[in-house]
Amino acid sequence: MKIAMVGSGYVGLVSGACFADFGHEVVCIDKDEAKVARLRDGVMPIYEPGLAELVESNARAGRLSFTTSLAEGIAGAGAIFIAVGTPSRRGDGHADLSFVHAVAEEIGAALTNDCVVVTKSTVPVGTGDEVERIIADSGCTHRVAVVSNPEFLREGAAIGDFKRPDRIVIGAEDEFAREVMREVYRPLFLNESPILFTGRRTSELIKYAANAFLATKITFINEMADLCEKVGADVQDVARGIGMDNRIGKKFLHAGPGYGGSCFPKDTLALLKTAEDYDSPTRIVEAVVKVNESRKRAMGRKVIDALGGAEAARGKRVALLGLTFKPNTDDMRDSPAIAIAQALSDAGIAIAAYDPEGMELARPMLPQVEMCDDPYQAIEGADAIAIVTEWDAFRALDLDRVKSLANAAVMVDLRNIYRPEDMQRQGFRYTSIGRG
């Protein structure tokens, strides 16, 4: 089947490359001429492990191509995926659907055959109804079914998530749409990946509910970490103890500096706005959003406290190791590092930082931060070292070298990647999360 993917960002590019790897003919469409030119040359706009190789092999095989022309890209396609951005709208937190609506209008005007239009973008409940209306109002005379098919890709593990999914959710309103989507996902269906067919509005809500629940788990264990520090307990053992209960599960119970990234912050806000619009308050999600935002700044204060408090910290230098919101990505969106750096800067602290992939995107966001070539350059002359992102490169630092370069052997481990007893033996003043 020919598949058109409108939008060649994170979701569109990963999904398009994986569909091509299944044997479909895929055309990725993007209005950014420079991006399309780079993709044709094999240059990725994002960092995702394995993506460059997957794109290159399928482009070479003729199954994956790139264009700026939507009319050319969708011609003859049996399924057209909308995978454009839906960022939080400035000022009110609603999902900005202007790109989705514009694409729907353009698709309706350019269609030359019957097809299924699939919203892969994360969109609020009822968006599929609006996309359907826009296409109909554009004068389209072909049979079009609008489907919701949310993505559940983790940055840094997206290819594996796409090819070996926990589930595939498809919100469709008629059998024509369901049959087309079965054919789209036939390679995964043969591998017995579970496909859940629902109504379109149900599918749209599943995505938001899933992300809000995961954000809640993260925020819950972070609050337990704060309590552990007060009572002298170990949050990692608490997480293991509750995670062994299969009703709870062990995933997303890793205490840290708060969640960030492209999904959880904007999706929890969008869910709150949807609930507000329908007069159905979601108090738990509301609390999660507030607690997470305050936690990021609190991590900055944790570093300041390790320096002896606000007065003693002024004029000191801190090395930040890790800037992206998680490892194996270059995504800086809503990263805790942004709030931490701002808190340190506001306290009169100089900051040097290193991240294996995120510094190019971080520079304009953190102009006050000196970007370094490696972790040891950042550590040189530092009065404290803060591990913000758990990159593998930071898990086995040469601690003797660290002590020789730093002004003081002070480490604030916001990801608990070292053991307190080991750090004490090495002569560090060591602070971690939830290990009283």
Domain termination residue (choose one: 175, 198, 221): 198
Structural domains counted in the chain? 2
Residue 115 falls in the annotated catalytic set: no
Whole-prediction pTM value?
0.93
Range of the domain at 60: 2-198
Same domain for 215 and 187: no
> What is the rounded distance in angstroms from the CA atom of residue 203 to the CA atom of residue 172?
9
Same domain for 358 and 228: yes
Helix (H, G, I), strand (E, B) or coil at 429: strand
CA neighbor of 372 nearest in space, from 400, 352, 358 = 352
Domain termination residue (choose one: 166, 198, 230): 198
Same domain for 69 and 129: yes
Phi and psi angles of residue 118, each rounded to the nearest 5 degrees, phi first: -115, 125
The torsion of the CA quartet 263, 265, 267, 269, rounded to 10 degrees, works out to -170
Same domain for 302 and 415: yes
Same domain for 385 and 250: yes
pLDDT along the chain (436 residues), means of 10: 97 98 97 97 96 98 98 97 92 88 97 97 96 94 97 95 96 97 91 92 97 98 98 97 97 97 94 95 97 96 97 98 97 97 98 97 97 98 98 96 98 97 96 93
Phi and psi angles of residue 60, each rounded to the nearest 5 degrees, phi first: -65, -35
pLDDT at 189: 78
CA neighbor of 394 nearest in space, from 409, 374, 366 = 374
Same domain for 85 and 215: no
Same domain for 237 and 250: yes
Domain termination residue (choose one: 180, 198, 216): 198
Same domain for 135 and 66: yes
User: What is the CATH number for 416?
Assistant: 3.40.50.720
Strands 410-413 and 144-148, bridge-based pairing = unpaired
Same domain for 221 and 171: no
Same domain for 257 and 181: no
**CB contact burial 123-143 (16+ within 10 A = b; e otherwise):** bbbebbebbbebbeeeebeee
Q: Strand runs (DSSP E) across 266-398, as ranges?
A: 317-321, 350-354, 369-371, 384-387
Catalytic residue chosen out of the listed positions 18, 115, 263, 372: 263
Same domain for 296 and 193: no
Same domain for 122 and 18: yes
Q: Is 364 exposed, middle or buried (0-12, 13-18, 19+ CB in 10 A)?
A: exposed
pLDDT at 229: 97
Per the listing, tokens 């971080």 go with: 362
